[in-house]
Structure 1
Amino acid sequence: MVIDRLKDKYGLIARTSRIQAELAEGAIAGRMVMVAKPQAYMNRSGDPVGDIIRMYGLQCEDVVVIHDDIDLAYERLKIKEKGGDGGHNGLRSLADALGTAAFVRVRMGVGRPDAGIGVVDYVLGEFDADQRLTLERFLSQAVEAAEVILCQGAKEAMNRFNRKP
């Protein structure tokens, strides 16, 4: 959702590729970027990202990952420069594919599921009515966080977005 908003806001141009990901590139605040939405299963999402890094000669420190996080309350953003996977299969796959966990993350809090609802069903399910009321604002904050990371660096983004509400 955040990647789609970045593509629309900056008119990023879709790129065709053999990689199992939707790619688009263009400029954000004068900086050339490529955005990617892996089209693999979450627990294999690192494979296309690794392919992109190798194919385009990028470095792991060029990677910014935007992901859901059940350990953060809904609507809470947290920026990290590196870290463990926290049980997130997508992050584990990325770290395995890249050989390092030293990549910037925009953690988007989705909260924990209610009792009796499995984590997979919860994170792949629809937003509830209360969440839908604030979803646009939350996504806009995540877009802004990505912009700050790209233009001013992860530390500035952490200073700005890691404050408790």
Structure 2
Amino acid sequence: MKCIVGLGNPGRKYKETRHNIGFMVIDELVKRNNWELDKSKFNGKYAMERVDGEKIILLQPQTFMNLSGESLRPLMDFYQIDVEDILVIYDDLDLPTGKIRLRQKGGHGGHNGIRSLIDHLGTKEFKRIRIGVGRPVKPIPVVDYVLGKFPKEEQDDVAASITKSADACEAWLKSPFLEVMNEYNN
């Protein structure tokens, strides 16, 4: 069983903010495959589907970003999902808007959602798709920036990064992650 986790914050207030780009990728996967996030448990909304006979779970934690591990850990325990079968999608200030980067492991890089996952999973070794949201050009607190919406001039880059990330997720369901990394990091 594999689990794809998109990080974000619950509620309409945060719907199209930079911090919710992980949710946007899950929404894209749901839309393109006619799936439904119809289950609500483990402090999250999730879908359980099958791809080529393998069960997969798509998860949007509803705990708010900084507590994401409180949703994923109980889900992993209940369904007995190994950490090597987890893929986490989240926003990254250190990548330009529209750029994606796949990694097999890493630190939290100051991202509190990833910090929560590392704390609750007890490891830094889980697969990730980092989606660039850029850094603020004006002096603005980082929290205000990531909770802000993408400006109109970035919409095409954002849409492309969501599509490419969803494509990478689907590729991982059929191929080893190293192969997917090599294809999508170029």
Shorter-chain TM-score above 0.5: yes
What code does the residue aligned with 1:46 have? G
Quick one: distance in 2 between partners of 1:4 and 1:39?
Answer: 14
Change over 3 Å in CA distance of 1:145–1:89 after alignment to 2: same
> Which consecutive aligned stretches of 4+ in structure 1 deviate over 6 angstroms post-superposition?
none
State whether structure 2 residue 157 is matched by structure 1 residue 127: no
3-state SS of paired residue (2:37): strand
Please state how far the C-alpha of 1:50 moved relative to its aligned partner.
Answer: 0.4
What code does the residue aligned with 1:20 have? N
Aligned residue among 61, 78, 94 for 1:38: 61
Please state how far the C-alpha of 1:114 moved relative to its aligned partner.
Answer: 1.8
TM-score (norm 2): 0.82
Matched ranges for 1:110-149 at <5 A? 110-149=133-172
Identity %: 38
Change over 3 Å in CA distance of 1:128–1:12 after alignment to 2: same
State whether structure 2 residue 168 is matched by structure 1 residue 156: no
Question: Aligned residue pairs: how many?
Answer: 163
Task: Answer 1 or 2: higher relative contact order, Cα 8 Å, separation at least 6.
Answer: 2
Which residues of structure 1 form unaligned runs of 5+? none
Q: Structure 1, residues 102-155: CA drift from partner, whole Å, max 9, x if none? A: 110001011111231121111121111111133322211110111122211211
Quick one: distance in 2 between partners of 1:64 and 1:141?
Answer: 15
- Worse-matched range after superposition: 85-94 or 112-121: 112-121
Please state how far the C-alpha of 1:29 moved relative to its aligned partner.
Answer: 4.9
Asked if 2 retains the 8 angstrom alpha-carbon contact of 1:28 and 1:147, the reply is: no
Which residues of structure 2 form unaligned runs of 5+? 1-23
Matched ranges for 1:1-165 at <5 A? 1-163=24-186
Quick one: distance in 2 between partners of 1:28 and 1:11?
Answer: 13
Q: Structure 1, residues 63-113: CA drift from partner, whole Å, max 9, x if none? A: 100000001111111000011111111111001101111110001011111
Asked if 2 retains the 8 angstrom alpha-carbon contact of 1:66 and 1:108, the reply is: yes
Quick one: distance in 2 between partners of 1:17 and 1:125?
Answer: 27
Change over 3 Å in CA distance of 1:31–1:18 after alignment to 2: closer
Asked if 2 retains the 8 angstrom alpha-carbon contact of 1:113 and 1:119, the reply is: yes
TM-score (norm 1): 0.92
